[in-house]
Amino acid sequence: MLRYWLIGLTLVVTASTISIALYDPTDGIRPVEDADFYKNGRYPEAQVRLGNLLFFDKILSGNKNIACVTCHQPTLGTSDALALPLGEGAAGLGRERRVVADTPLLGRVPRNSQALYFLGAREFSSLFHDGRVEVDPNGNWESGFWSPAREQLPAGLDNVLAVQAMFPVLSDIEMVGHKGENPVATAVALDKLAGPDGAWALLARRLQAIPDYVDLFQAAYPDIANPEDITFVHAANAIAAFEATAFRADGSPFDRYLKTRDPGHLTRAARRGMALFYGPAGCSDCHSGKFQTDQKFHAIAMPQIGPGKNDGWDRSYWRATGFAGRLEDHGRGRVTGRAEDNLRFRTPSLRNVELTGPWGHAGAYATLEDTVRHHLDPVGALDRYDPARLELAALGTVIEQTAMGSRLEHRPVNPARIADYEKRDRWVQQSPALRQTIAAANQLDPVRLTDDQVDDLVAFLKALTDPRSRDQSNLIPSRVPSGLPVAD
Ligand code: HEC
Ligand code: HEC
């Protein structure tokens, strides 16, 4: 039976390979062009320059110890080479990043740091793995955007990429730190985001006090007459202008192919991979269009490692260790509140995907090939996934959160119990019940491909790399206006 099935498959593949000569499945895809981007991709140079400096400046973090670039490095595919980032309080960059003794850390950031390529294109109308920042289609929100800040989100943000930039600075684990450590973190813990004592205003005041920034903001935005006119909305718009400009990456072999339709721009393996990708392998059912994403949400049984997002009601970790923790991450479901959206994540763009590993929303896979193979047999791969093989730096000093909202407090985890605490980040993967939940939500059907075909798919994915994106160290400023260190 299996043999007949395999012969059938071979015939299908052969037939489709032959038909490629007549019908190119990428025919409907137009090359990347200026019109795909907000403002046609052209931002005033002064805004881009300002955004570049802000992106690298630790002044935007509560304890002045981390910048956007720490997790989005222009030499590491705009990510950080870690499965799960170590946020504020840790030190070092990329794989060298470590927890520092005596600096309390809440743990690892629950999701893999996303790449930033092409996000200035209009079709990216929602951001984050779960799309919790979105263009508001119904005009219900004054700001024009749906976001976790709801009615506190100010007006005047240029686009959804600028909206996104309002949020990392509010995240305790990423940038702002913990209640009591600095006034911005305390404001966030009290849910004071907007208004004159809100977190954004406190950060803007830091910028207003630095003369170099005042000059830069005035050059970028004519509506700023006095330092007090600088708001965090200006900063977010400038950061978005920088990201949209610096991380547009349409110089890949695939782009040259789309522009000229000359197959010579792709290796033979990449051409075979492209035919599979947009054909029988079914990849383009979700990774469609020029950026290889339908901008929608799907559950594909990706392994989940890390502390999760406090979703679900499973208490097995708590019962086994005594530490609090609802360790699931329900992805899109936690934004829409609809059960059918649970465990769905946004289809990532595959542009420059070769450079952005580890892969998956929790960085579970260390190689691109394993990531592709996961798709061929999602539930089987989830079951076979061995979290013990995953490289995670030791946590060392950690603190525990003991309550929410205005009563939020932290206390150090007893060092003798760190091993139990460390179990948390591999727990979901090791719990058969939790794995079953992820498997049950899966929407991706298995596909049977030969090893050669997998190689061809990976060759195609590598043809999506813009060679200029391999090393954008030219973006690293020699100094930033706050005078805080740039290089670590
Ligand atoms: C501690 C690491 C860390 C820092 C610092 C950080 N990020 Fe991120 N970034 C992440 C992670 C993790 C995600 C995915 C989060 C999620 O889906 O919940 C992300 C997501 C994003 C996205 C969404 C990408 C997409 O395709 O949806 C953008 C844009 C972004 N970050 C920009 C920034 C900017 C701008 C800053 C500074 C203001 C910043 N980040 C600071 C880790 C970080
Ligand atoms: C049913 C929709 C769907 C199909 C079909 C699909 N993918 Fe995916 N893919 C996704 C989603 C959703 C994610 C992110 C999942 C997550 O992180 O939980 C993803 C993630 C990936 C990633 C990791 C990207 C990153 O930045 O971490 C790669 C690589 C990838 N897919 C390649 C492929 C290839 C190759 C195929 C065809 C064999 C394929 N996909 C078919 C939906 C799909």
- Using 50, 70 and 90 to split pLDDT, how confident is the model at 11? very low
Predicted confidence (pLDDT) at residue 19 exceeds the cutoff of 50 = no
Indicate if 38-79+114-249 has the same CATH topology as 20-35+255-468. yes
The CA 5 to ligand 1 mean position distance, Å, reads 45
For the chain, the domains span 20-35+255-468, 38-79+114-249
Ligand nearest to C-alpha 447: 2
Beta-bridge mates of residue 400:
411
Beta-bridge mates of residue 79:
73
71 lines ligand 1 (CB under 6 A): yes
Query: Residue 345: what pLDDT?
Result: 98
443 lines ligand 2 (CB under 6 A): yes
Q: Give Dmax over CA atoms of the chain in angstroms.
A: 78
- Using 50, 70 and 90 to split pLDDT, how confident is the model at 400? confident
Spatial separation of the C-alpha atoms in residues 265 and 252, rounded to whole Å: 9
Evaluate whether the domain defined by 38-79+114-249 bears CATH number 1.10.760.10.
yes
Predicted confidence (pLDDT) at residue 389 exceeds the cutoff of 90 = no
Which tens digit of pLDDT belongs to each residue from 140-185?
A: 889 999 999 999 999 999 999 999 999 999 999 999 999 899 999 9
- Using 50, 70 and 90 to split pLDDT, how confident is the model at 256? very high
Ligand 1 pocket test, pick from 164, 234, 297, 329 with the greatest ligand atom count within 8 Å of Cβ, gives: 164
Predicted confidence (pLDDT) at residue 2 exceeds the cutoff of 80 = no
Atom of ligand 1 nearest to the CA of 169: 38
276 lines ligand 2 (CB under 6 A): no
165 lines ligand 1 (CB under 6 A): yes
**What's the whole-number average pLDDT of the chain?**
92
Ligand nearest to C-alpha 134: 1
Query: Residue 63: what pLDDT?
Result: 96
97 lines ligand 1 (CB under 6 A): no
Atom of ligand 2 nearest to the CA of 358: 27
Average pLDDT over residues 455-477: 98
- Using 50, 70 and 90 to split pLDDT, how confident is the model at 408? low
Average pLDDT over residues 11-24: 52
Ligand nearest to C-alpha 464: 2
Tokens matching residue 79? 């990510």
Query: Residue 12: what pLDDT?
Result: 46
Q: Residue whose CA is closest, atom 41 of ligand 2?
A: 283
Ligand 1 pocket test, pick from 38, 48, 105, 113 with the greatest ligand atom count within 8 Å of Cβ, gives: 113
Predicted confidence (pLDDT) at residue 22 exceeds the cutoff of 60 = no
Tokens 């465990």 belong to which residue?
343
Query: Residue 388: what pLDDT?
Result: 87
Topology of the domain comprising 20-35+255-468? Cytochrome Bc1 Complex; Chain D, domain 2 (1.10.760)
Sequence-separated (6 or more) residues with CB below 8 Å from residue 157: 143, 144, 145, 163, 166, 233, 236, 237
Predicted confidence (pLDDT) at residue 436 exceeds the cutoff of 60 = yes
* Cα 198 to Cα 171, 187, 193, 209, 261, distances in angstroms: 14, 6, 4, 17, 53
The CA 392 to ligand 1 mean position distance, Å, reads 19
The CA 362 to ligand 1 mean position distance, Å, reads 13
Please provide residue 344's backbone torsions phi and psi, each rounded to the nearest 5 degrees.
-90, 140
Beta-bridge mates of residue 359:
365
- In the chain, the percentage of residues whose pLDDT exceeds 90 is 82
- The residue ranking higher by pLDDT, 61 or 417, is 61
Strands 345-346 and 399-401: unpaired
Which tens digit of pLDDT belongs to each residue from 273-327?
A: 999 999 999 999 999 999 999 999 999 999 999 999 999 999 999 999 988 888 9
Query: Residue 422: what pLDDT?
Result: 87
287 lines ligand 2 (CB under 6 A): yes
Tokens 């072999």 belong to which residue?
253
Q: How many CB atoms lie within 10 A of CB 318?
A: 13
Predicted confidence (pLDDT) at residue 20 exceeds the cutoff of 70 = no
252 lines ligand 1 (CB under 6 A): no
371 lines ligand 2 (CB under 6 A): yes
Ligand nearest to C-alpha 109: 1
The CA 232 to ligand 1 mean position distance, Å, reads 17
Average pLDDT over residues 245-260: 98
Whole-model pTM? 0.94
Ligand 1 pocket test, pick from 128, 159, 171, 233 with the greatest ligand atom count within 8 Å of Cβ, gives: 128
Predicted confidence (pLDDT) at residue 227 exceeds the cutoff of 60 = yes
Predicted confidence (pLDDT) at residue 424 exceeds the cutoff of 60 = yes
- In the chain, the percentage of residues whose pLDDT exceeds 70 is 94
Predicted confidence (pLDDT) at residue 8 exceeds the cutoff of 80 = no
Query: Residue 3: what pLDDT?
Result: 38
Query: What is the three-state SS of the chain?
Result: CHHHHHHHHHHHHHHHHHHHCCCCCCCCCCCCCHHHEHHHHCCCHHHHHHHHHHHHCHHHCCCCCCCHHHHCECCCCCECCCCCCCCCCCECCHHHCECCCCCCCCCCCCCCCCCCCCCCECCCCEECCCCCEEECCCCCCCCCEECCCHHHCCCCCCCHHHHHCCCHHHCHHHHHCCCCCCHHHHHHHCCCCCCCCCHHHHHHHHHHCCHHHHHHHHHHCCCCCCHHHCCHHHHHHHHHHHHHHHCCCCCCHHHHHHHHCCHHHCCHHHHHHHHHHCCCCCHHHCCCCCCCCCCCEECCCCCCCCCCCCECCCCHHHHHHCCCCCCECCECHHHHCCHHHCCEEECCCCCCHHHCCCECCCCCECCHHHHHHHHHCHHHHHHHCCHHHCCCCCCCCCEEECCCHHHCCEEECCHHHHHHHHHHHHHHHHCHHHHHHHHHHCCCCCCCCCHHHHHHHHHHHHCCCCHHHHCCHHHCCCCCCCCCCCCC
Query: Residue 101: what pLDDT?
Result: 76
